[in-house]
Structure 1
Amino acid sequence: MLIDRAVVEVRSGKGGNGAISFLREKNLPKGGPDGGNGGNGGSVYFIARKNINTLLAYRHSKAIIAKDGEKGDKKMRFGLSQEDVYAEVPVGTVVYLEEGMVPLADLSHDGDKVLVAKGGKGGRGNASFKSSRLRVPKIAENGHPGETKRIVLELKLLADAGLIGFPSVGKSTFLNVVSKANVQTADYPFTTLVPNLGVVSLPNGIDQFVLADMPGLIEGASKGKGLGFSFLRHIERCRVLVHMVSMSGERDPYNDYCLINEELKDYGADLDKRPQIVVASKMDCPGAIERKKEFDNKLGFASFGLSSLTQNGVNPLINYIYEMIQKTPVFPLFKQEENPQYKIYQAKDSEPLFTIKRPSAHLFVIEGKKVEEECALTNITTDQGIAKLLSYLTKIGVDEALREKGAISKDTIRIGDFEFEYDE
């Protein structure tokens, strides 16, 4: 069973807290700080493996979770850093951040990997804070938090060329003739429910290419109707499209041709700009020759005539498909500027260090990624830890901003989970 889309939650590990400890031995009553650092939390990666061909493992999966780093300890013992988690996906998987569908990576080769949730760094123990000015540090850092994200995985099959067209125009039959795909065929509206791949060998016995038989398309597919997105998603990787139109007389071939090209255009991803080979199939049917002439006149160029039943036209067609593949470069799945690693940050994009909200008369809430992170990392169980945090808040202007907002003594100040009383 081909499962080509999955949504999964990933969680990296939190860093271990640093320790506050002082060396106490018989001959060293004042041995100094010896609190060790916390270990790093594990990260989560997705890695492409060629022996996997479906996302079935993630269809009903629970969250992918990496372990937290262990806390530091006395006598300079560092906490254990955890191993990273590598979740395996098929080659051809595209990884997105669910929020905004931001593309993170196209894992198109065996062994390609992408970091999706970075493990938190371990906090420093008090031994790391010793200096000529601070000989007895009673301060340590908490471990950095891990990350929780929802990730969308989409499998887009790797094929050089893709067979497209309405159901029952002969795509599966053609694939069976030119390869060993052994696709089940029948004269039904949806004979192919999942894409099928076949390796096509040229008559010269040397060259090959991969041909994909895509699920039959219906009008409205670009809006998700029928097999819709399932069909169009896999076409994105194909360099050349082989557009089959039946000459059996059961449908209007030119109307079918136009409808499918409209669906390609509406879907986007520049599918309508791919090189397209138009094939008039089922040329063994009565009246097919006359219908092809009429069809070609409307097209303004000659289509390839093909009968998979008699195999007339098969070799010239596969030779031409291969020739077009060699001329056509690989299309990128997403443009460079869509990838967050290429984002250009300008001065106007910068965010303030913090904002202050006043939900009630005597409560002030300070928000901001950097200030909340600093608060979370600081061990506030010691006087030195609290002093360090308050010094940081004063340095970045929080104290002055609170006064401007009207804060008075005894008002409550909240930063994340930390609360304290304001003192003018």
Structure 2
Amino acid sequence: MFIDRAIIEVRSGKGGDGMIAFRREKYVAKGGPAGGNGGRGGSVILKANSRINTLFNFRHSKAFIAKEGEKGGIKNKFGKYAEDMIVEVPVGTVVYLESDKSFIGDLNEDGKTLLVAKGGRGGRGNTAFKSSTNRCPRIAENGEPGESKRLILELKLLADVGVIGLPSVGKSSFLSVVSSARPEIADYPFTTIVPNLGVVSVDDSSFVMADLPGLIEGAHQGKGLGLQFLRHIERCRVLIHIIDMSNNGRDAYQDYLTVNNELKEYGFGLNKRPIILVAGKMDEDGAEDKLKSFKKKVKEKIYPLSNISEEGVKEILYACKDLLAVTPKFPLFDEEEREIDYKKYSIEEEEKEFEIVRLKAHLFRITGDKIIKFYKMTNITTDEGMMKLMSKLRSLRVDDELERMGASDGDTVILEDFEFEYVR
């Protein structure tokens, strides 16, 4: 089975908590703080591996959770850093954030890595809070929370040449003739339901050719195997468009227009790629007459092809070689063509300060990435930790915002799992 799209959840590890400890040694008076910092949590990293061909493994393994960092120790010992979780994916995997379809990265080379969830920073131990005014701090930070994301993985084949056309026009037969690939071949629609790859050698050079699932009208809207098909064309530098010239009752010119229109509607400039037009099944009765009629309607050069006698194969392969020599790689993402806002996603996106939501009368909730992160990293089980949190809320003018929203003395305010009374 070929799996070319998967949704996974990744979760980086929380940083280790800082330690509250003090130096206690004989003959050392007022030893001072000695609490170490926590270790960094493990990150989740995707890595391209050329030995993996599909996203099939992600059909069952959908959650990847890195370990937490170790807590800080006494005697200023730092907690151990957690190991990063490496998740291997096929070369050619493109990664998006599921929530807004933001583009995160393209793993298009063997060994290339992509950080998708950054491990939390370790919390500071009480030694880090020592100052000239606080020689014996009884406060330490909790580790920074890890990140949690749902990602879309899409596999786009890395083929130089893509063989396209309507179903059952002879694409698989052509690939089997020019390479060692052995795709399933039969005379019914969608014989090819997964892409087949073959390495083609021409003189002293070689290139990768893909026989792609058949295209039908409406493919750019997802009909048939359309979107799966078109997704893999995006990386191809040259296309071979095979048109069936057998006596099958179909209009060859209309078939030609159908495929060209689907390429145009999908975008990415697919209809502007170098295309080698091939008249297939020329060994069948009536094919010559059908080709003559077709030539009157198109201006492009047409290469006749017989898969049985292999007549025309050599000319097509040399045409591929010549076009590949002068055709650069096309950009994978063309926002203007696709009309989708593919913003570059950054792990370090700007965070909100805070927001206050009225849940009901006399009940408010404080939300916002920054304040929640600060709360989770503050150890409020100590008096100094509680003072630190209250000081932070005052510095953000949370009390002013509560007053503006009509809060009165005694109203309950919730911050994550912590509740306190509002007092003006």
Does TM-score exceed 0.5, indicating one fold?
yes
**Residue equivalent to 1:77:** 77
Which amino acid counterpart does residue 312 of structure 2 have in structure 1? Answer: G
Give the Cα separation in 2 of the matches to 1:14 and 1:91: 29
Give the Cα separation in 2 of the matches to 1:81 and 1:23: 24
Give the Cα separation in 1 of the matches to 2:146 and 2:51: 31
**Residues 103, 334 of structure 1: 8 Å contact kept:** no
Residue aligned with 2:135, SS? coil
1:323 to partner: Cα distance:
1.1
TM-score by length of 2: 0.93
1:190 to partner: Cα distance:
2.2
Query: More displaced, 141-150 or 410-419?
Result: 410-419
Give the Cα separation in 1 of the matches to 2:132 and 2:363: 39
State whether structure 2 residue 312 is matched by structure 1 residue 308. no
**Residue equivalent to 2:235:** 237
Give the Cα separation in 2 of the matches to 1:342 and 1:382: 35
**Residue equivalent to 1:356:** 356
Give the Cα separation in 2 of the matches to 1:411 and 1:81: 42
Which amino acid counterpart does residue 117 of structure 1 have in structure 2? Answer: A
Give the Cα separation in 2 of the matches to 1:351 and 1:66: 23
State whether structure 2 residue 286 is matched by structure 1 residue 270. no
**Residue equivalent to 1:99:** 99
Structure 1 residues 57 and 366, CA gap change in structure 2 (3 angstroms) = same
**Residue equivalent to 2:205:** 207
**Residue equivalent to 1:328:** 327
Which amino acid counterpart does residue 284 of structure 1 have in structure 2? Answer: D
**Residue equivalent to 1:153:** 153
**Residues 103, 345 of structure 2: 8 Å contact kept:** no
Which amino acid counterpart does residue 4 of structure 1 have in structure 2? Answer: D
Residue aligned with 1:151, SS? strand
Query: More displaced, 408-417 or 212-221?
Result: 408-417
Residue aligned with 2:100, SS? helix
Query: More displaced, 296-305 or 124-133?
Result: 296-305
1:352 to partner: Cα distance:
5.7
Moved over 3 A (4+): none
Q: How does 1:239-388 map to 2 (within 5 A)?
A: 239-250=237-248, 251-335=250-334, 338-341=342-345, 353-388=353-388
1:230 to partner: Cα distance:
1.7
1:160 to partner: Cα distance:
0.5
**Residue equivalent to 1:68:** 68
**Residues 165, 242 of structure 2: 8 Å contact kept:** yes
Give the Cα separation in 2 of the matches to 1:395 and 1:200: 67
Which amino acid counterpart does residue 255 of structure 1 have in structure 2? Answer: Q
Q: How does 1:156-235 map to 2 (within 5 A)?
A: 156-202=156-202, 205-235=203-233
* Offset from partner CA, 1:134-177 (integer Å, 9 cap, x none): 11111111111111111111111111110001122111111111
State whether structure 2 residue 23 is matched by structure 1 residue 19. no
RMSD, aligned α-carbons: 1.9
**Residue equivalent to 1:392:** 392
**Residues 375, 418 of structure 1: 8 Å contact kept:** no
1:341 to partner: Cα distance:
4.9
Give aligned pairs, total. 417
Q: How does 1:402-413 map to 2 (within 5 A)?
A: 402-413=402-413
Which amino acid counterpart does residue 118 of structure 2 have in structure 1? Answer: K
Segments of structure 2 that go 5 or more residues without pairing to the other structure are 336-340
**Residues 14, 67 of structure 1: 8 Å contact kept:** yes
**Residues 3, 55 of structure 1: 8 Å contact kept:** yes
**Residue equivalent to 2:338:** none
Structure 1 residues 91 and 304, CA gap change in structure 2 (3 angstroms) = same
* Offset from partner CA, 1:381-418 (integer Å, 9 cap, x none): 11111111211221222122223333333222222222
Segments of structure 1 that go 5 or more residues without pairing to the other structure are none
* Offset from partner CA, 1:76-96 (integer Å, 9 cap, x none): 122221000111111111111
**Residues 93, 153 of structure 1: 8 Å contact kept:** yes
Structure 1 residues 339 and 110, CA gap change in structure 2 (3 angstroms) = farther
Give the Cα separation in 2 of the matches to 1:422 and 1:399: 8
* Offset from partner CA, 1:236-263 (integer Å, 9 cap, x none): 1101111000110212111111111222
Amino-acid identity (%)? 56
**Residues 242, 278 of structure 1: 8 Å contact kept:** yes
Give the Cα separation in 2 of the matches to 1:71 and 1:94: 36
**Residues 16, 79 of structure 1: 8 Å contact kept:** yes
Which amino acid counterpart does residue 255 of structure 2 have in structure 1? Answer: D
Residue aligned with 1:99, SS? coil
1:335 to partner: Cα distance:
4.3
Give the Cα separation in 2 of the matches to 1:356 and 1:81: 35
Structure 1 residues 4 and 352, CA gap change in structure 2 (3 angstroms) = closer
Structure 1 residues 119 and 418, CA gap change in structure 2 (3 angstroms) = same
